[in-house]
Amino acid sequence: MFKVAVIGASGLLGRAIVDELAAQPDWQVVGTAFSRPTPNTVVLDVRDARAMEQFIDREAPDALVIAAAERRPDVCERHPELARALNVDAVRAIAAAAHRRGAWTLSISTDYVFDGTRPPYRPDSEPAPLNAYGRSKLEGERALAATTDFGCVLRLPLLYGPIVDWAESAVTSLVPAIAASAAAEGKAASMDAWAIRCPTFTPDVAFVIRQMLERHAKGNAIRGIVHWSGDEPMTKYEIAVRLGEALQLDARLTPFDAAIREVLAAFPWRGDTPA
């Protein structure tokens, strides 16, 4: 029996990972959650290092996937201590406990560790985060590497997938503005048309993570840093147009482009930098 612990199993990506892994024969999956626990998850605050260590000792997983994080750039900017607790300190504590048990650790990171000026990026490209979120995730990557030599960082871009509310994904968070623009009294919604993103479907990511875990189960674990993303580059304006079409909304959308860059540069955490 191959056992995997998914830390942050109730989140957008965590749910997709659990669904994918639970379908594998001879695999056992145990998930943790905090703000949105379910009957099938273990209630656990990843900021509690002792509780995290006890959980790993008790469950004795062969591998852990860290999908828990503070991913909202504005929250990270306003509350850097919270960002550090979730994105850095928790990763270090989980990796340390996993290392003591010989478990492989996969930590989910982001392309926000780059500044977006010289894409496409490789795993060995020099990071240059622009905001508190990117800095905290980069510190988390380094915390993993400093704590265990039996782990991997998977950097992902903008994610979308099955949601519990529109705000859960940066993609679907555009829907209220799109819907408002389609209303009779609504104003046209302005969407940037210069920042290029690669929206990535969470079930596809879960499939890739399952393949990575299979390699570990066969004794050929991946280490270091890897990148994966969807293959269709789009601007936020193009994403909004697609969403409007999919939801059959007659949305009125106005693109704005590179002329706004100088304004956004003064507030980089509010800009649409790589996610």
Cβ distance 244 to 214 under 8 Å?
A: no
Given the residues 112, 121, 133, 237, the one annotated as active site: 133
Question: What secondary structure, in 3-state letters, does the chain show?
Answer: CEEEEEECCCCHHHHHHHHHHHCCCCEEEEEEECCCCCCCEEECCCCCHHHHHHHHHHHCCCEEEECCCCCCHHHHHHCHHHHHHHHHHHHHHHHHHHHHHCCEEEEEEEHHHCCCCCCCCCCCCCCCCCCHHHHHHHHHHHHHHHHCCCEEEEEECCEECCCCCHHHCCCHHHHHHHHHHHCCCCCCEEEECCCCECCEEHHHHHHHHHHHHHHHHCCCCCCEEEECCCCCCECHHHHHHHHHHHCCCCCCEEEECHHHHHHHHCCHHHCCCCC
Is 237 part of the annotated catalytic residue set?
no
Closest CA to 261 of 269, 253, 248, 271: 271
Residues classed as catalytic: 133
